[in-house]
Amino acid sequence: MEKPDLDGRTALVTGASKGIGRAVAVKLADMGARVAVNYNTSDAAAATTVDAINARGGEALAVQADVSDPTQVSEMVARVSQAWESVDILVNNAGIIDDGLLVRMSDNAWNRVMATNLNGTFYCTRAVVRGMMRNRWGRVIHIGSVVGIRGNVGQTNYSASKAAIIGFTKALAKEVATRNITVNTVTPGYINTDTVDVLQQEQKDRIMTWIPMGHFGEVEDIAHMVGHIASTKSGYLTGQVISVDGGMAI
């Protein structure tokens, strides 16, 4: 019987207590990886993710850290490395929104979103990439957003943070390519998560007109793509921005 593709690898998934992060964590565990489930405040939800992985025969560990704080990120990576030696796969999924029209957007709303979405991606990646370079193998996968490509009214801060991650992806991919490390971004469209659930039906109907496939995606759609990129068979795929959005970015 063939070993699971990621057998012996360690993955760190940020913001993995629920939604896309949880689905990604479970997918990577199903592929054989040991998974560190990062969360900031949702400790009970993170425990649910860990329990879900353990119930399927996987191995998981919950690790608390605010990814916008470089000290907490360094301590988190140290805990994971102490438990499992190194981080081979990083999925930068943690993100927040603080929507509003630009003319009324506060400095705090701008800075909070940038601190978590963009700075958090930088801090987490910097903390693990040296070990990947030493081991000459790694997968860095960012969860971006379709609005980082096409923009969205009331989301200049969020759109800017996700667009910046695209440039980050392409630059880092060039820096680490010779060390057998790939760097890619998956850009989800509207996915059935808590964020979409709270929208009014009128809003959902309007958004649906932007999606050629005519329906929202599921968290498993994103997890499947992340699993493909993380696979040992995807070693020649790097610097790419892959939209999983029902055609919304077309």
Q: Residue 138: CB partners within 8 Å, gap ≥ 6?
A: 88, 89, 90, 128, 129, 131, 132, 176, 179, 180, 181, 182
**Active-site residue (options: 39, 158, 190, 236):** 158
d(CA 108, CA 175): 33
C-alpha distances in angstroms, 31 versus 20, 47, 93, 160, 204?
17, 20, 19, 33, 34
User: For this structure, is 158 an active site residue?
Assistant: yes
The strand order across the sheet containing 181-188 reads 60-64, 34-39, 10-13, 89-92, 138-143, 181-188, 241-244
Residues that are catalytic = 158
